[in-house]
Every structure is written in C-alpha cells, then in structure tokens.
Amino acid sequence: MPPKDKASPGRFHALLDRSAAAWLILVIGLGMTLGLWQYFGEHFTERTRDRFSHRAEAAKSLLVSRMQAHEQVLRGAAALFAASAQVDREEWRAYVNALELERALPGIQGTGFTRMIPADQLAGHVAAVRAEGFSDYAIHPAGERKLYSSIVYLEPFTGRNLRAFGYDMYSEPVRREAMERARDNGLPALSGKVTLVQEFGSEVQAGFLIYLPIYAGGIRPDTVDARRTALLGFVYSPFRAQDMMDSIFSGQLKDAELELFDVSPTPGNLLFASAQRSAHARFVVDYPVEIAGRTWLARLSSTPAFERDNDSAEPGLILFGGTALSLMLFVLLNVNAKHRRQMQNAATRLAQSRDEFRTLVENVPGVVFRCQVDAPWGVIHISPNIEALTGARPEEFLVAHVSFGDFIVPEDFATIEAAIATALQARTSYEVEYRMRSRSGNICWVSERGHVYVDERGQAQWLDGVIIDVTERKQAEEAIRNLAFVDTLTHLPNRRFLLDRLRQGLANSRRHGRHGALLFIDLDHFKAINDTYGHEAGDRLLCDVAQRLRQSVREGDTVARLGGDEFVVMLEDLADTGREACEKGTAIGDKILAALNEPFEIEGALHHNTPSIGITCFGSADERAEDLLRRADEAMYRAKAGGRNRLETHATQAN
C-alpha cells in the first residue's frame, strides 16, 4: 500500500506538467460555462414568463370585471321590470339614459328589451306597436312560427340600432340557444359569435349578446317548466366585439397582443384581435374566461418590444466571461506547465476573481454593493446608482459618513437581518424586499439580492449584492388588488370581495358553531337625488352613506357596496344561537336605520333619504354565499313593499 500512496501524487504531478492538464481545464471550464449559461438563460426566461403571465392575468381580470359590470346593468334593468307594473318606452329610455353607459361602460352597442310573442298574439302585438306611431313596424324576418320574439325597446334608438327594431332574435339558432339557456336557468347567458343585425356596409364586426330573462311578477320561478310558462321576454345588450374590446383594453396592451375566441381557438371563432399575432412570439398564454355561462378563450402573445425590454444580458456575460476565463486558464497552463506551483497560485486567484465576478453578474442591473454583514451595514463598495435611491453620494458611504441603516425604514431591520442570518446558516444567497427613505423623505420599495462571503474558517467577511427599485411593481400590484376587490367610488369592498368574505364567514360558522347576520340595504327613491341634484351629488350621498355604515357597525364587520345604491353589511360571530344572532343583527339594523334617517347635506340644503333593509341570519348549516345574499335581497324587497324606511327579516326567520 505505501508504494501506491507515493505513486498516485507523482502521476498527478506528471499530469500537471503536461499540456493535457491545460486541455482538461479547458474542457471542464467550457462545460461549466455552458451549464451556467443555460441555467441562467432558463432562469431569466422563466422570470420573464412569470412577469408576462402576471400581465396576462391582469388583462383577464379587467375583461371579467367589465363583463360582470354589463351583467349588473341587465340585472338593474330586470329590477326595473320587477318594480314597475308596466315599463313603457319612455320609462325605458329614461332608465337607460340615466345609466350614462357611454361614459361609465363605453363600448356597449345598446341596452334593449325583446318580448316573446305566441303566434296567436302576433297580430294584436303588431297593431299595438303601430298604434304607438310606428306605422311600418313588422317582425322580421318574415315567416310563420309558433313563437316569435321582437326587439321592442333598444336604447340608444338611433343609427345602427334602428335596424334591430322588430328583429326576431329567437328565429336565429345561435341567439336562440343563449335565450333558452337564460330562460331555463334564470341567469345571464352569453351568446356565441354572431353578426349583429345592426351591421352593414364595409365595417362589419363580429358580435355577441348577453340575455337576462324577465318573468311575470318579476320573480324567478323555482322550476324550469314554471320559468318557461312565466317568461315575458329578455333584457339584453348587443356588443360589437372590436368596439367593446378596444374600450376595455385601450392603453392596456402595450406589451402584448390579445386574441379572443368563442369556445375554441379556431379562425371561425375569432371575436377580437388587437393586432396580427407574430408567429414567433416567445410567450403565449391561454386563459379560459367564464362569462355568463359561456367560455371564451383569451390568448395573449408577447410583442417584440416586451421581449426586448425584458431580455437580459447576464447569460451572455456569463458565457463570454466563462469562456474567456477558460481560455485564459488554458493558455496559462500551457505556457507555464513546468512552473506548476506558480500556476496553481494563479489558478486560485483566478478562481476567486471568477466567483466574485459571478456574484456581481447575477445581481446586475441595480445598485451593486459590498458591505459589512451586521447592521447598520457599513459600505465597502457601492455603485453610483445609490444616489438615485437615497440622495447620498457614493463617496459618503465609502468614508462612513452614512450607512445603509441610515436610509432603511426601522421597522424593516428585523426582516433584513433574518434573511441574512438564514442565508449565512444555509450557505446560500438571500433575497429580501424592504423600504428605504431618501433624504428628501420619499419612501420606495427595493428588492435586495446578495450573498455572504465566508473565509476558509467559516467566518462571515462581507456581503456582496444588488439593490433594485421595485416601487412601480408594488404600486401596480396594489392597483390591481384594488381594481379587483374595492369599489372605486366609496372605497368599500365590492361584490367580488363580499362573496369571498361570505364564503369565509360561512366556513367559520360551520367550524366554530357561531351565528351571524347579513343586512341588505337599498336607498329609497335614490333616483330622485340624481334627477334633482345631478349624479355628482348622488355620488357624494353614496360616500356619506358608506361612512355612516362604517360608523354603525363593529370594527371587524364587513361593509360592501354591490353597485348603484345597494349596500351589504356582514355581521360575523354574533351569538351561539340563531335567535340571539337575529336579535343582535336586528339591533344593529335599527342602529343603521336611525343613522341613515339623519339628514344629509346636498348642495347646501338638508335632505332626508331613507333606507329599506332586509336581514337574514346564518349559522352552522351548509349554505352558499349566493343563497344567503339572495335571502337578504328578498327581505329587503319585502321592506320596500311594506312601505320603505324599515327593516324586514327573511320570511323563514321572521319567527
């Protein structure tokens, strides 16, 4: 054994003395360089893909939010029919005009009502409409059918929309499928791709429609057969796809191209395309979008500008630097084969330089730094970009007049120290986000990525890393969250947020056996406020109502605005029994009733505006959030029917 121990080092030394060692180092160096180049290339590609997917998700949320808003417009129209014994043409025109849809929800072609007409009532219907002054009125297309439909109301009743007057949408298969689906389930139904009857000339666009059924008595029957019997017609909205999507995404698709398909991505199903999609787009994301019982497919493709702006030079730098380093080692080993000791020392120094270079490359662009490991993180090296973040010159850091700790928000110290400690223990890099306050007082969010340098004894020597300003990203994330969950007028939670909280509240009730209550609040005669004082005054009144509702409930309760003048209050954890929860919920409802009966100041005058409140209770039973909201809504309508300015409990809980 001893002779072999001596021979092994000799063979190794002989290898280093030959040029084969240089070739071996070259092969290993190039292999490592290619590996690192591929790894970081895939890493940055994946990061860019995530960023693009985030933008695509935001575009999807924007589309869903707009379409839900249009569904809500139809629900409001259905409520008009439920509240009015006979909606005539002038009442319909006044209602639609009051919505100001061209300002609030641009891109809609119109809002209308189509009546269902059995064949035996056709002649009487035509005569009645002609008696209104439309002497040429007739249902088209002509032909004998058992059941007709006719567009009798459509606002604005001008331009293209005049072509739709009297059109029998039920005679066309694609529209009929959506109308029958809406009729049978009582919910909004989106049609497939159609060409609207309003289209003519050379600017023909793809179109679609949303229907909501209107039943006799204004209440949806419980069974399908009863719904078919009680059907009076549909409130609906037609949309020109190109106009609609342009209004939604105007200025929003700077880095992506959008294609929207009905059901499946085939040329015949294309509803909208923001531009001709490049066949060489690096990032393509498909999102199914559920709208009123029908699925669209949104396909977003990256633009060359997005790919160029998000391309990183770091993989190329690694490839170039690694290749250069490997060639340098090859030349040094080849030239200095007989001076092995000197070559080994040089290789050690080059390896250290390579590691330091790699650390910097991994964190470019940004403020590159080297600092002490412990707070307040005195600076050893800093790049010039630090002045843009802090207002302090690099020289001030280098002479220790200031340190990083002078500009970090104190509450974030613990987060940074924990990230560094964890990385040091695991011998890994760390990444942490925190806030910095500049000399001018501005606070920005930054992302820091770094690595603790450890010597041969395992002692931490310094930190190498980079700081990147991510304030815009943080602001964008916050804006997206607000758009998705907050009502922009009152800053209360919106319907989507409320349903989420309701589901959580029901789950908590089932888990802990505690009961709560839900209040549905609708302002009485709110339309008169808008008609008398204008919509800006109405908006201010809604904000005042929201403030009074917040002040009337407990800190942990949820106050939300569903839209228009409808508000909902969710009261959780009221009592162990349903009866006690209803009593406490009623007491809070009376408090709200009293608060909203106090006069409001409008245009310098005091105005009284009363509410109608419906209340329903919930507990450990297996309920759905939508059913709970419906019960409260029914109780509210009972309050209105009972004379308004009162509180009514849902019928099943009244006793």
Express each pLDDT in 1-43 by its tens digit: 444 454 455 555 555 556 677 787 888 888 888 888 888 777 7
Give whole-number Cα distances, 418 to 424, 427, 467, in Å.
10, 14, 17
Q: Which two tokens stand for residue 349?
A: 């120094």
Question: Structure tokens of 591?
Answer: 């408090």
pLDDT digits (tens, 9 = 90+) for 209-265: 999 999 998 899 999 999 999 999 999 999 999 888 888 887 777 778 899 999 999
* CA–CA dist 652, 280 (Å, integer): 61
pLDDT at position 361 is 43
- pLDDT bin (cut points 50, 70, 90) of residue 117 is very high
Sign of the CA dihedral with 257 first, then 263, 267, and 271 last: negative
Of 79-83, 204-208, 481-485, the least confident = 481-485
Query: Are 541 and 553 a contacting pair, CB within 8 Å?
Result: no
Cβ-contact 614, 512 below 8 angstroms: no
How far is Cα 115 from Cα 126, in angstroms, rounded to an integer? 12
Domains present along the chain, CATH in parentheses: 87-246 (3.30.450.350), 365-471 (3.30.450.20), 486-653 (3.30.70.270)
SS3 readout for 6-71: HHHHHHHHHHHHCCHHHHHHHHHHHHHHHHHHHHHHHHHHHHHHHHHHHHHHHHHHHHHHHHHHHH
Tokens at residue 53, please? 């997917």
CA angle, residues 401, 405, 411, in degrees to nearest 5: 155
pLDDT band at 364, cuts 50/70/90? low
- The answer to whether 614 and 635 are in contact (CB under 8 A) is yes
Is residue 135 over pLDDT 80?
Answer: yes
Of 297, 296, 272, 295, whose CA–CA distance to 284 is shortest?
297
Report the pLDDT value the prediction gives residue 404, as an integer from 0 to 100: 87
Residue 151 pLDDT class (50, 70, 90 cuts): very high
pLDDT tens figures, 158-174: 988 999 999 999 999 99
pLDDT score at 319: 81
The size of the chain, in residues, is 655
Contacts of 36 (CB under 8 A, 6+ apart): 318, 322, 358
Q: How far is CA 506 from CA 364, 441, 513, 617, 623, in A?
A: 49, 45, 10, 11, 7
Residue type at 597? N
When mean pLDDT is compared across 63-67, 166-170, 185-189, 423-427, the lowest value belongs to 423-427
Mean pLDDT computed over 557-583 = 91
pLDDT of residue 123: 94
Nearest to 608 by CA among 529, 549, 533, 531: 529
Note the pLDDT tens digit of each residue in 365-398. 678 889 988 888 888 888 888 888 888 889 899 8
212-224 pLDDT tens trace: 999 998 899 999 9
626-645 per-residue burial string, b: 16 or more CB within 10 A, e: under 16: eebbebbbbbbbbbbeeeeb
**For all residues of the chain together, what is the average pLDDT?**
86
Q: Please state the separation of Cα 623 from the chain's center in Å.
A: 27
Secondary structure class of 384 (helix, strand, coil): coil
Q: What is the pLDDT of residue 27?
A: 87
**77: amino acid identity, one letter:** A
Q: What is the pLDDT of residue 336?
A: 60
Q: Are the C-beta atoms of 400 and 372 separated by less than 8 Å? A: no
The highest-confidence range among 99-103, 291-295, 528-532, by mean pLDDT, is 291-295
The larger pLDDT score, comparing residue 544 to residue 36, is at: 544
Question: 247: which 2 tokens?
Answer: 């209004």
Q: Does pLDDT of 357 surpass 80?
A: no
Residue with tokens 């029917």: 641
Token pair 């209550």: residue: 517
pTM over cut 0.75: no
Q: Please list, in sequence order, all residues whose beta carbon lies within 8 angstroms of the beta carbon of residue 196, skipping any fewer than 6 positions away.
A: 109, 160, 164, 205, 207, 209, 238, 240
Confidence label for 362 from pLDDT (cuts 50, 70 and 90): very low
pLDDT class of 199 with cuts at 50, 70, 90: confident
pLDDT at 510: 87
pLDDT value at residue 561:
93
